[in-house]
Amino acid sequence: MTQPSTLFDKLWADHVILERPDGTALLWVDRHFVHEGSHHAFAKLKDRGLALAQPDLTTGVADHYVPVRSGVTPMREIAHMLDTLQSNAETHRFRLFGQGDRRQGIVHVAGPEQGLTLPGTLVVCGDSHTATHGALGAYGFGIGATEVAHVLATQTIWQHRPCSMRLQIDGTLGPGVGAKDMALNWIARLGSDAGHGHAIEYAGSAVRGLSMEGRMTLCNLSIEGGARTGMVAPDETTFAWLKGRPYAPSGDDWTEALDRWSALRSDADAVFDREERLDADDIAPVVTWGTSPEDALPITATLPDPGRVAEPSRAKRIMVALDYMGLTPGRPIAGTPVDQVFIGSCTNARIEDLRAAASVLAGRTAKVPGLVSPGSQAVKVQAEQEGLDRIFEAAGLEWASAGCSMCVGMNGDRVAPGQRCASTTNRNFRGRQGPRARTHLMSPAMVAAAAVTGTLADVRPLLQGRAA
């Protein structure tokens, strides 16, 4: 009888080419995504005179630096980044979803959407949010520039075998509560370094109940809890979502693939190195108040008071974070005025996210300016077919194109110094959205609530009488 194994064990075993005595293994890479920021890796490849090993398994996407607002001419430096990606794609002959391509979008939105990411595949990208692809039952993780160069040259990657962790979330999410709230809830509870060295499998009825969009949000934020990767076992929801996508297998290949993918789940008696549980019924809409994703609380809570924290280094950290954020200890979080909103990023810019925000904004006016950047051009087209763009524009928000935009500010879309932004993104780090910018992370519905009230606000009363 074979040893019971976890989903991760199965993915790992399928990709090991060779293993060193300390557990470091050379793994096969099925899908490699590169973007404008990968320029360091291509420079390294050139320096060493190396060629691209598997062009068909490599996909370039213009997302980090791409302009998203109409009428904006990119600065010379940014245009150069886009041109460099284009020229690397031509030199090395890999597929490119470049600026203006209808398949273009944020890599973690466009890759799955085009059917490139498949259950059981190992997916890497020089971007820390690559665990997003784990929503399809893939093994996805972010890598650095030297590793990108290594994957380009060999189609393989060195990894220490991570420990396994199962995060079981059972129960039912309340109205106005979604995958973003689940993710920020566990990160706040366990800490932003809780997942170091771990591969997380998200399981339980509340996870099974999520759409593919929700699962991608949940897996996307694995890195914010420090995890190496995050994944959900593929099921009927996965297969129905994937079938017929442009690069997904079809015909007899689909039938064979489905047969193999159905075995991609943890055995009933598989043992995990760590087990954590959450009850979905206990999760309220969450917002962050500080400068780490672990600084998250329900919108109904009050801000922490460093004067009431016993441990000096923690008290100091809270004080410094509140000072940076311009917040008063002990005050209610709700009611904090915001200057602007941003709906976008690889975390929350899929069609379901835009629908959730639009359901709050419909027939209402935003009290503060804001930018809405769909996760891909395909999402943009679909949103426009559904009339969501008109809801955002009628509310007074700017409807843009697809890219990383104001999540990371590389394309010039930034939050000005001292300004407070309610954002659907993934990082509230100091300066992330621009020097001295103040970021509050929350779900798309909660950002919409912030837009219509001009403050951090509980979305739930705004959803009464509406389809959430």
324 near another protein, judged by CB under 8 A: no
Q: Minimum distance from CB of 48 to another protein (Å)?
A: 7
**Could you say which DSSP state residue 173 is in?**
P
Query: Which positions ≥6 away from 79 have C-beta within 8 Å?
Result: none
Nearer Cβ to another protein, position 219 or 463? Answer: 219
Interaction residues for another protein, span 404-443 (CB under 8 A): 408-410, 417, 427, 429-432, 435-436
Q: Minimum distance from CB of 365 to another protein (Å)?
A: 33
Q: Which of 13, 17, 51, 263 binds another protein (CB under 8 A)?
A: 17
Structure tokens belonging to residue 22: 């300390």
Nearer Cβ to another protein, position 87 or 146? Answer: 146
| Of the candidates 124, 132, 144, 162, the residue with the CA atom closest to the CA atom of residue 25 | 162
Contact stretch for another protein (CB under 8 A) within 77-85, 210-218, 328-336, 376-384: 77-85
What's phi and psi for 119, nearest 5 deg?
Answer: -55, 140
50 near another protein, judged by CB under 8 A: yes
Interaction residues for another protein, span 156-215 (CB under 8 A): 156-158, 160, 192-193, 196-197
Query: Which positions ≥6 away from 51 have C-beta within 8 Å?
Result: 45, 92, 153
Gap between the Cα atoms of 124 and 147, Å rounded: 10
Nearer Cβ to another protein, position 79 or 362? Answer: 79
Residue type present at position 458 = D
Q: Which of 7, 52, 57, 333 binds another protein (CB under 8 A)?
A: 57
Contact 226, 195 (CB under 8 A): yes
User: Could you tell me the strand order of the sheet in which 398-399 lies?
Assistant: 398-399, 370-372, 340-343, 420-423, 438-441
Q: Which of 62, 223, 356, 366 binds another protein (CB under 8 A)?
A: 223
Nearer Cβ to another protein, position 46 or 308? Answer: 46
Contact 421, 371 (CB under 8 A): no
Contact stretch for another protein (CB under 8 A) within 66-74, 204-212, 221-229, 375-383: 221-229
Contact stretch for another protein (CB under 8 A) within 43-51, 335-343, 392-400, 442-450: 43-51
Interaction residues for another protein, span 288-317 (CB under 8 A): 291-292, 294, 313, 317
In the chain, % helix, strand, coil (3-state, to 5) comes to 40, 20, 45
Nearer Cβ to another protein, position 203 or 321? Answer: 321
From the CA atom positions of the chain, what is the Rg in Å?
Answer: 21
Residue type present at position 97 = F
Q: Which of 1, 2, 3, 22 binds another protein (CB under 8 A)?
A: 22
Beta strands in 38-174 (DSSP E): 58-61, 95-97, 122-125, 139-142, 156-160, 163-170
78 near another protein, judged by CB under 8 A: yes
**Could you say which DSSP state residue 416 is in?**
P
Contact 403, 98 (CB under 8 A): no
Contact stretch for another protein (CB under 8 A) within 42-50, 174-182, 276-284, 337-345: 42-50
User: What is the size of the binding site for another protein (CB under 8 A)?
Assistant: 79
Q: Is residue 166 classed exposed, middle or buried when 0-12, 13-18 and 19+ CB atoms within 10 A define those classes?
A: buried
Interaction residues for another protein, span 252-281 (CB under 8 A): 253, 256-257, 260
Q: Minimum distance from CB of 195 to another protein (Å)?
A: 9
Nearer Cβ to another protein, position 440 or 460? Answer: 440
Q: Which of 12, 33, 42, 65 binds another protein (CB under 8 A)?
A: 65
51 near another protein, judged by CB under 8 A: no
Strands 274-279 and 163-170: parallel
Contact stretch for another protein (CB under 8 A) within 205-213, 245-253, 380-388, 390-398: 245-253
Interaction residues for another protein, span 116-155 (CB under 8 A): 116, 118, 121, 126-128, 141-147, 149-150, 153-155
